[in-house]
Structures are given as C-alpha cells and as structure tokens.
C-alpha cells in the first residue's frame, strides 16, 4: 500500500507563495480542488474563497506570521450584520457544509433548518486543516518549504480566534455558532470567550472536554501515523512520499468511535465482507473489517496526515474550564445555548452533555438540552436528518432575526 504523490492520495489545498506559483519545479504535488480565490462580495453561494487574516499569536506561545482561512458562504448578510450562522465542521470536514456534496446539505439551504433565505451562513476550514486554510502542509514563509512538524501547536481557542478575524472582516456583528464534535468545542469556545459577538450557540455531540477514552484512541491513531516509515518525521511532503498506511490505520481506529455497539450489530453483525478486501486475507474478512478498510483508504485520498496529528491533539487539549475554572467561563455566556446529546454516543456520553446543560442552568443561563434517540452513535449528527431538523429549527427560529435580509 506504499503510495507517492501520483494523484492517488491526498494532496493539500494550499494557497502557495508567488515564488512557488512562478516556479513549477518547486510544486511537489497537484491540487485536488482549485486553490481558493480571494474573498469577493460577488462570490456565488458555496464558492470556495480565501481570506488573509494576518499574523496570529497562539494560545500556547507559538506564532504564525501569516494566516489564510478558506471559507464558503450562503445567503445574504442583513444591513445590521446580525443574521449570521457560523457552521463549525468536525475533525476531517471542510468548508463545504451545504450544496452538492455538502456534509450538512440536508440541514442547510432555502427553507431548511438553517435557512439560507433568512440567515447568512459561513463555514470555514479550521486553522490547522488542509483544505485551503493555513496548516502543517502550508508553506512556511521563513523557509519556503511546507511547515511539517515545525508548525506550532494549536488549540481550539486559536481556531476560534482566527474565525473571529474572518467574520469581522465579512462585516458580521452577531452570529450563531453551531457545530458538532470538535465543531461543538468551537461553538462552546465562541460562547464562553467571545460573548460580545454571539447571539446564540449550539455545541452538538460535545462536552466541555474530551473524555480519557477519546484521548487514548486519538493517541493510538497518532502513533500509527508516526510509525509509518513514510512519515519521515513529518517531512513526507518535501520528500515526495506520504504515510498512507499509518493514516489509514488512524482512520480505522477513529471510525469505531463514531459508531455505537448497537449500530455495529445493526449494520454489520458478524457477516462476511461484501466488498473486495483492500488487504491480504487472514482467515477471511468480516464485513465490518472491509468497512473500516474502505474508510481508511478514503481518508488517505482527501486528508493530510500532519493535520490529523495537530487537530486530534487540539481536541485532546481542549478544556472549557482552562485558565479560570469551568464555572467562571460558563458564567460569561450571554446568549441562548442549545446542547445536543445522542443516546448511543459513547465518545461524548449523553449524560455528560446533559450534566453540562444542568451546570449552565444552575448559573441562570438560557440553555436547552435535546437528546437524539438514535442508535447511530457519535455520527448521528451527520446522519439523522429529520431528528436534527427537529432539534435545530425551533432553536434557530427563536434566536435569529425575524425578518429575512432584503
């Protein structure tokens, strides 16, 4: 399964330097999607755009001399600038939240739960990602080479600080922050650290910190990547190779966390494989093995291995109560909150999400807790469209401006 940069694996979407653009010999890969264009008032709904937001000092002491965020928008910002909905994607997601191929398309669009006839919807690729925003695969302006592991450690707070610069440059004065999993961490960060801009927040399938089981499984995935000989200490991009085997294994581990015990039995049971095996058979192949093999191979074609390391570590490090305690930060929430748990989610158990809601309520906050009665585990917020619509639509109807933008 050794693979090189031949177009069969992931190649990062990078807004390259002028020098790289002018010298094709310095390009180590092809783009799988066009590089984002600079943001424009005339951009069509869903068009990939990019915004330079300048240098960024980071929470853990690092510094990035120049940061770009890739983003897409749908709908129209009203004259008051207060009808924005900021969608915050999950770990390996991107800015394509809506439209054809969008990962949340059933929820976003005209007349849908997140109604683009009423709201100005923004979704950006997070800092540290690999779909147009600055991350480990970006060119380090000091060396002219990809950052690799010279990229500084980043946090959820850094991601949100970068997003704030983006939305302010877009003219947004107030917003609803909504997202699931690592996107839920970002929504909670918006509510507690940036209450002046938040008119409501919806952290979905997330708590105030990743439980130890999640940290352990993230670490197993990172070690799989780093054990791949083609990781090369994170320098694989410069050396023209890719740690495909390690990243595929990391994704296989992660896929088990997105399911539940119940959904695994419902979908796979102990049935033999229904698709050709991607690995040599060892006493036959179960259907569930073929499923994780397939998803491991699929991620290799669309995601960067170093981004996986940095983003999973940012998940591990997040704690809403850092630097002051949970009660202090929850007390700073100044707008309605929707917390959503999933009955069968063992990564962020619903009782822990509900307990967070109870602690917010005890502080006098306007908080609503909704639980999806779904067997599909953590990923239910990406599958249960009717349930998600029923959970989200009433909340957004309450917190968004009543009138559509002209």
Distances (CA, A) of 94 to 12, 87, 129, 341: 12, 10, 8, 23
Location of each CATH 3.40.50.1820 domain in the chain: 18-210+319-399
Question: Along the 406 residues of the chain, how does pLDDT read in single tens digits?
Answer: 333 333 334 445 433 333 333 333 333 332 334 445 565 567 899 999 999 999 999 999 999 999 999 999 999 999 999 999 999 999 999 999 999 999 999 999 999 999 999 999 999 999 999 999 999 999 999 999 999 999 999 999 999 999 999 999 999 999 999 999 999 999 999 999 999 999 999 999 999 999 999 999 999 999 999 999 999 999 999 999 999 999 999 999 999 999 999 999 999 999 999 888 899 889 999 999 999 999 999 999 999 999 999 999 999 999 999 999 999 999 999 999 999 999 999 999 999 999 999 999 999 999 999 999 999 999 999 999 999 999 999 999 999 998 777 6
Kindly give the pairing relationship between strand 84-88 and strand 175-180: parallel
Which of these is catalytic: 115, 158, 228, 345? 345
Q: Which residues contact 226 (CB under 8 A, 6 or more apart)?
A: 246, 309
- Domain 18-210+319-399 matching CATH 3.40.630.30: the answer reads no
Which of these is catalytic: 89, 194, 259, 378? 378
- Gyration radius of the chain's alpha carbons: 21
Q: Write the DSSP string, 258-271.
A: HS-HHHHHHHTTTP
Q: Which residues contact 6 (CB under 8 A, 6 or more apart)?
A: none
Residue 51: CA atoms inside 13 Å, Cβ hemisphere, count? 24
Which of these is catalytic: 124, 181, 307, 344? 181
* Angle ∠(158,355,251) on CA atoms, nearest 5: 50
Tokens of 402: 């009543």
Tokens of 164: 């704030």
Residue 376 designated active-site:
no
**What is d(CA 86, CA 92) in angstroms, rounded to the nearest whole number?**
17
CATH class of segment(s) 214-313? mainly alpha
**What is d(CA 132, CA 125) in angstroms, rounded to the nearest whole number?**
7
- This prediction has a pTM of 0.91
Q: Which residue has the tokens 């009782």?
A: 351
Residue 82 designated active-site:
no
Strands across the sheet containing 49-57: 37-38, 49-57, 63-74, 120-124, 84-88, 175-180, 198-204, 337-342, 367-372
Residue 63 designated active-site:
no
Location of each CATH 1.10.1740.110 domain in the chain: 214-313
């Amino acid at each position: 399964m050794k693979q090189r940069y031949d177009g069969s694996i992931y190649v990062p979407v990078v807004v390259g330097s002028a020098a790289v653009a002018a010298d094709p010999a310095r390009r180590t890969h092809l783009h799988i999607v066009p590089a984002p264009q600079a943001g424009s008032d005339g951009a069509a709904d869903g068009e990939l755009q990019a915004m330079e937001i300048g240098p960024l000092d980071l929470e853990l002491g690092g510094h990035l001399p120049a940061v770009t965020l890739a983003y897409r928008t749908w709908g129209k910002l009203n004259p008051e600038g207060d009808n924005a909905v900021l969608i915050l994607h999950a770990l390996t997601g991107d800015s394509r939240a809506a439209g054809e191929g969008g990962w949340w398309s059933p929820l976003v669009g005209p007349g849908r739960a997140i109604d683009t006839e009423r709201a100005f919807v923004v979704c950006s690729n997070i800092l540290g990602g690999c779909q147009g925003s600055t991350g480990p695969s970006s060119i380090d302006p000091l060396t002219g080479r990809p950052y690799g592991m010279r990229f500084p450690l980043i946090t959820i707070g850094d991601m949100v600080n970068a997003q704030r610069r983006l939305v302010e440059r877009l003219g947004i004065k107030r917003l609803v922050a909504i997202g699931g999993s690592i996107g839920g961490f970002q929504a909670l960060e918006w509510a507690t650290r940036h209450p002046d801009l938040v008119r409501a927040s919806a952290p979905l399938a997330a708590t105030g910190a990743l439980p130890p089981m999640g940290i352990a499984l993230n670490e197993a995935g990172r070690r799989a990547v780093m054990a791949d000989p083609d990781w090369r200490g994170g320098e694989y991009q410069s050396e023209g190779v890719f740690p495909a085997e390690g990243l595929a294994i990391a994704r296989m581990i992660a896929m088990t966390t997105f399911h539940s015990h119940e959904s695994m039995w419902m979908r796979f049971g102990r049935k033999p494989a229904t698709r050709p095996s991607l690995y040599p058979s060892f006493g036959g192949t179960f259907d569930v093995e073929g499923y994780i093999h397939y998803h491991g191979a699929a991620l290799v074609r669309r995601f960067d291995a170093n981004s996986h390391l940095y983003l999973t570590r940012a998940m591990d490090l997040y704690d809403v109560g850092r630097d002051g305690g949970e009660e202090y930060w929850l007390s700073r929430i100044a707008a309605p909150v929707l917390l959503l748990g999933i009955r069968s989610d063992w990564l962020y158990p619903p009782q822990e999400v509900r307990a967070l809601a109870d602690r917010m309520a005890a502080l006098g906050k306007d908080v609503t807790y909704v639980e999806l009665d779904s067997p599909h585990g953590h990923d239910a917020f990406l599958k249960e469209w009717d349930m998600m619509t029923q959970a989200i639509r009433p909340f957004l109807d309450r917190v968004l401006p009543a009138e559509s933008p002209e």
